[in-house]
Amino acid sequence: MQSCPSPKINIDEKWKSGSIDYMKTKMTGLALALCLCGAAVCFADPQMGTWKLNEAKSKFAAGVPKNNMVVYEAAGDNVKITVDGKDKDGNATHNEWTGKFDGKDYPVTGDPNQDARSYRKVNDRTLEMTAKKDGKVTVSGRIVVSADGKTRTVTVGGTDQDGKKFQSKAVYDKH
């Protein structure tokens, strides 16, 4: 009687294959968990998101720039704020700030009227903001998100490029 040769099974290869699939599943789960945690932190702060200027509800001092669109987004463990608007002559403007809401100055890029800005969290819905040019405070104010999270009001005062004092109130709708 002749016996049939039994197929050779490489146990090491099967073990390695199963281990790789297990690790892939584990890493995918970990990546998904980190993304969800990041999203939860981002969406937990009512300031985060895209805000569009509601000119009908806003009151601007003469010659003050208007920020038409403001975006707050997570940038690692910082917040990035991108502002698009119009200057006093109607020309398009764009500036960016990245930092923490810890009251410390962080650089601003793209704004000729300020080179540093700080934000301090007063409570869950309120920030205090200060803008500086060459170390001198030019604008300070308060940013308050409504209880329903649909609007935010930015009240600022300061001194313009000509040395004149101003006060403005801008109302934004969540977009």
Domain residue ranges of the chain, discontinuous segments joined by +: 9-44, 46-174
pTM metric for this prediction: 0.74
Beta-carbon count within 10 A of 124 CB: 10
Per-residue model confidence (pLDDT) at position 40: 47
- Reply yes or no on whether the pLDDT at 48 is more than 90: yes
* Mean pLDDT score, 155-160: 90
Topology (CATH) of 46-174:
Lipocalin (2.40.128)
pLDDT band at 26 (very low <50, low <70, confident <90, very high): low
Per-residue model confidence (pLDDT) at position 41: 46
Beta-carbon count within 10 A of 53 CB: 22
Strand extents, DSSP E, 54-115: 66-75, 78-86, 92-99, 106-109
